[in-house]
């Protein structure tokens, strides 16, 4: 079977169009809603879908073809698909008991995939699921249906089983639990479950659904309240996980560690996008995307992922393709489609007028972005400039320094101007030093900032301070810079620093390396405005390159632009406690000099006579030779 590497491919449908005949054979064999949907997404214009949804459909069809492979111990069982499809159609709509739910095809794709794919022992293949879609699309339906299916079907004959409905706070956990409980109350009265419910004395209460005989219990919990580690949940569903603070990530490990060894275990993470792109759910999505793109990787075959989102922030004003993030639009009647789309357009326009467009982009278009919050750089403009490597040896360099006071990191920023063809470009990198005095321990510092500094230090992006007190070790910082310049034979064009916080470094350079040009940079908008804008434009235009360095990415995504009364700008951070922009400050300091590098730059083969007129050349030679 042909495999694909889809890294960097923007048009998934175009790349896989040669496989239509092969995939059609799978469709003829299985004829289930999920397989039909996957085929239609890739080979018809029936649905408007984004790249991530197309990747999920591609993965489903590819996996159908590799079921007999030795390194793929899974199979697709349509008997389980039939069970989940039938179950959804008897569930009452929590908003209207007189109406049963009818899943959209995109919802069937998710449900059929989660239940239809099985291990060799007929357990669930997908023990983890990442599901992301805009609001008002039925996330709660998927979650509540899965929970009740597990309670009333999967674990019906088991005893003492735990089930968890969770979120980051009580309000969101309660909202999902209420839908689960409302459906459960209706189910225990239905002929198909009435006798079983009576035998197990099942009661759907306001705080739990409990079988007093079987001891099977659906509970709700929050990361704020904790207490997840004392249960072994057959299924745990975490709603709006995209808003989970990094310092609460430990609660997720409590959930999953308690599920080890359970045959049909499943941890379902559901959310829309949020402004903060450094949360764990976003990182999980990015990692899974890379794995799915490389079709021959078997690293995460137990994780399901589907994301319904716009492919670009630029699509906020392209209403005709909002079906990418609002998949219900693809399956509505014409009348309902017009009504729903007009409602979304009104929400967009109202948000735009009131300065709240960022919330609409996050929640209604499912885009992780701070672009509309006056952010300095969008995640899209950062990620498009990432490269695998860059050789800095022997190059001209501009160095910026951002010293810390207490909890902030201390950072060097490096700007390496270079030419690629006839284009002027910059390679930017950083190196940071991490204090932990205020946080007390490096472990607490990592949880507070949402960055694994110890792992990043092994990759060469930073160093943990050597000071036993957790404060910045100035000798460590200075000697690192000295060694880095010497080892890479760098030609220092300028070192730019704020004299208020960096006087100690300035004195050492003056005493030991007076050959390094130093420029003091006051941290005010009048001084920083031009380099701040120019650095921003280099990233937007694709002329800035960086490594896949979480400290640089974190620094840029945390930075927002603030403007003074005269129109000059500088960057600041949104959250004063945990949002660090030290690397961005250091890079902007470096760019105060680097921005002018190419004004007088000449290629190595530059001939100055080419700039002279015929008369100027005659005068030059006359002066030289008489």
pLDDT tens per residue, range 458-512? 999 999 999 999 999 999 999 999 999 999 999 999 999 988 889 999 999 999 9
List the structure tokens of 219: 């509970």
Distance in angstroms (rounded) separating the CA atoms of residues 382 and 361: 18
Please state which CATH number belongs to domain 12-308.
3.40.50.300
User: What pLDDT band is residue 405 in, cutting at 50, 70 and 90?
Assistant: low
What does the pLDDT average to over 380-402? 94
CA distances (Å), origin 80, targets 59, 111, 113, 269, 284:
19, 10, 10, 21, 27
Burial label for 23, CB within 10 Å (0-12, 13-18, 19+), is: buried
Distance in angstroms (rounded) separating the CA atoms of residues 74 and 557: 39
Q: Nearest-CA neighbor of 253 among 234, 276, 225, 226?
A: 226
Q: At what angle do helices 334-353 and 357-364 cross, to 10 degrees?
A: 150
Q: DSSP labels for 247-303?
A: GGTHHHHHHHHTTTT-TT-EEEEEE---S-TTSHHHHHHHHHHHHHHBTT--TTTTE
List the structure tokens of 295: 């079709």
pLDDT reading at 131 higher than 60: yes
Distance in angstroms (rounded) separating the CA atoms of residues 538 and 541: 5
CB 585 within 8 A of CB 402: yes
Provide the 8-state DSSP code for 492: E
Q: Which pLDDT value is given to residue 92?
A: 76
Residue 293: alpha-carbon gap to chain centroid: 16
CB 166 within 8 A of CB 179: no
CB 595 within 8 A of CB 417: no
Distance in angstroms (rounded) separating the CA atoms of residues 117 and 77: 6
Dihedral of alpha carbons 187, 191, 196, 202, sign: positive
Q: Which pLDDT value is given to residue 564?
A: 81
Distance in angstroms (rounded) separating the CA atoms of residues 584 and 44: 45
The structure tokens 């001939």 sit at: 607
Q: Which pLDDT value is given to residue 94?
A: 66
Torsion-angle region of residue 124: left (phi > 0), alpha (psi -120 to 50) or beta? beta
pLDDT reading at 99 higher than 80: no
Q: Which pLDDT value is given to residue 239?
A: 95
pLDDT reading at 609 higher than 70: no
User: What pLDDT band is residue 98 in, cutting at 50, 70 and 90?
Assistant: confident
Q: What percent of the chain shows pLDDT beyond 90? A: 75
Q: Which pLDDT value is given to residue 97?
A: 67
What does the pLDDT average to over 162-180? 93
List the structure tokens of 461: 């992006």
Q: What is the mean pLDDT of the chain?
A: 91
Distance in angstroms (rounded) separating the CA atoms of residues 180 and 218: 9
Pick 226 or 171 by higher pLDDT: 171
pTM of full prediction above 0.75: no
CA distances (Å), origin 98, targets 91, 138, 139, 230, 396:
10, 18, 21, 38, 73
Indicate the fold that domain 379-595 takes in CATH: Nucleotidyltransferase; domain 5 (3.30.420)
Distance in angstroms (rounded) separating the CA atoms of residues 392 and 518: 21
The beta strand positions in 133-182, using DSSP E, are 162-167
The structure tokens 């949940």 sit at: 233
Q: Among 208-222, 251-265, 498-512, 598-612, where is mean pLDDT lowest?
A: 598-612
pLDDT reading at 574 higher than 80: no
Burial label for 96, CB within 10 Å (0-12, 13-18, 19+), is: exposed
Q: What percent of the chain shows pLDDT beyond 70? A: 93
What does the pLDDT average to over 397-414? 90
Q: Among 108-117, 353-362, 538-547, where is mean pLDDT lowest?
A: 353-362
Q: Which pLDDT value is given to residue 626?
A: 47
Distance in angstroms (rounded) separating the CA atoms of residues 300 and 606: 53
Please provide residue 47's backbone torsions phi and psi, each rounded to the nearest 5 degrees.
-125, 140
Q: Which pLDDT value is given to residue 229?
A: 76
Q: How confident is the model over 518-559, as pLDDT tens digits?
A: 999 999 999 999 999 999 999 999 999 999 999 999 899 888
Distance in angstroms (rounded) separating the CA atoms of residues 235 and 542: 44
Segments making up each domain of the chain, as ranges: 12-308, 321-365, 379-595
Please provide residue 522's backbone torsions phi and psi, each rounded to the nearest 5 degrees.
-75, 135
Q: Which pLDDT value is given to residue 606?
A: 47
Q: Which pLDDT value is given to residue 448?
A: 84
User: What pLDDT band is residue 72 in, cutting at 50, 70 and 90?
Assistant: very high
Q: How confident is the model over 312-341, as pLDDT tens digits?
A: 888 998 999 999 999 999 999 999 999 999
User: What pLDDT band is residue 174 in, cutting at 50, 70 and 90?
Assistant: very high
Give 437's contacts (C-beta < 8 A, 6+ positions apart).
406, 407, 467, 469, 470, 471
List the structure tokens of 547: 């490594």
What does the pLDDT average to over 119-139? 95
């Amino acid at each position: 079977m042909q495999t694909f590497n889809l890294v960097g491919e923007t048009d998934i449908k175009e790349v896989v169009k040669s496989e239509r005949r092969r995939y059609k054979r799978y469709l003829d064999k299985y004829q289930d809603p999920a397989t039909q949907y996957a085929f239609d997404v890739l080979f018809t214009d029936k649905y408007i879908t984004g790249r991530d949804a197309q990747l999920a459909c591609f993965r489903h069809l590819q996996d159908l073809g590799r079921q007999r492979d030795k390194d793929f111990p899974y199979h697709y069982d349509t008997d389980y698909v039939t069970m989940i499809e039938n179950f959804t159609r008897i569930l009452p709509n929590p908003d209207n008991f007189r109406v049963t739910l009818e899943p959209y095809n995109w919802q069937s794709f998710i449900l059929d995939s989660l239940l239809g794919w099985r291990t060799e022992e007929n357990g669930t293949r997908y023990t983890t699921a990442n599901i992301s879609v805009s609001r008002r699309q039925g996330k709660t339906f998927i979650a509540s249906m899965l929970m009740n299916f597990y309670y009333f079907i999967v674990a019906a004959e088991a005893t003492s089983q735990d089930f968890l409905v969770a979120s980051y706070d009580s309000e969101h956990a309660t909202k999902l639990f209420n839908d689960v409980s409302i459906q459960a109350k209706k189910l225990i009265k239905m002929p198909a479950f009435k006798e079983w419910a009576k035998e197990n004395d099942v009661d759907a209460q306001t705080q739990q659904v409990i079988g007093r005989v079987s001891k099977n219990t659906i509970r709700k919990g929050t990361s704020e309240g904790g207490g997840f580690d004392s249960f072994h949940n057959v299924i745990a569903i975490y709603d709006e996980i995209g808003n989970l603070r990094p310092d609460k990530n430990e609660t997720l490990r409590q959930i999953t560690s308690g599920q080890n060894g359970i045959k049909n275990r499943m941890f379902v993470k559901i959310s829309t996008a949020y402004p903060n792109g450094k949360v764990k759910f976003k990182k999980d999505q990015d990692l899974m995307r890379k794995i799915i793109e490389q079709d021959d990787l078997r690293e995460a075959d137990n994780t399901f992922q589907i994301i319904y989102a716009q492919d670009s922030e630029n699509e906020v004003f392209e209403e005709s393709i909002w079906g990418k993030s609002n998949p219900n639009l693809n399956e509505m009647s014409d009348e309902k489609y017009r009504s729903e789309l007009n409602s979304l357009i009104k929400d967009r326009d109202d948000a735009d007028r009131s300065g709240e467009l960022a919330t609409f982009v996050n929640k209604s278009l499912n885009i992780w972005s701070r672009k509309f919050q006056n952010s300095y750089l969008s995640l899209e403009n950062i990620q498009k400039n990432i490269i695998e490597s860059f050789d800095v040896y022997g190059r001209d360099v501009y160095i910026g320094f951002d010293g810390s006071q207490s909890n902030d990191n201390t950072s060097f920023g490096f700007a390496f101007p270079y030419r690629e063809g006839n284009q002027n470009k910059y390679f930017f990198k950083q190196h940071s030093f991490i204090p932990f005095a205020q946080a007390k321990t490096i472990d607490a510092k990592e949880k507070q900032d949402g960055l694994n500094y110890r792992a990043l230090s092994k990759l060469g992006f930073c160093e943990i301070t050597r000071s036993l007190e957790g404060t910045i070790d100035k000798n460590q910082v200075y000697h690192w810079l000295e060694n880095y310049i010497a080892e890479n034979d760098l030609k220092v064009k300028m070192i730019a620093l704020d004299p208020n916080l960096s006087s100690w470094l300035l004195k050492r350079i003056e005493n030991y390396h007076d050959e390094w040009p130093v420029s003091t940079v006051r941290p005010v908008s009048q001084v920083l405005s031009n380099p701040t804008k120019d650095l921003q434009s280099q990233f937007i235009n694709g002329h800035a390159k960086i490594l896949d360095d979480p400290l640089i990415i974190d620094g840029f995504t945390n930075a927002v632009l603030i403007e003074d009364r005269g129109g000059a700008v500088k960057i600041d951070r949104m959250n004063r406690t945990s949002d660090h922009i030290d690397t961005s400050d250091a890079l902007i300091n470096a760019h105060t000099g680097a921005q002018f590098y190419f004004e007088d730059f000449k290629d190595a083969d530059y001939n100055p006579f080419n700039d002279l007129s015929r008369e100027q050349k005659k005068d030059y030679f006359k002066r030289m030779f008489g």
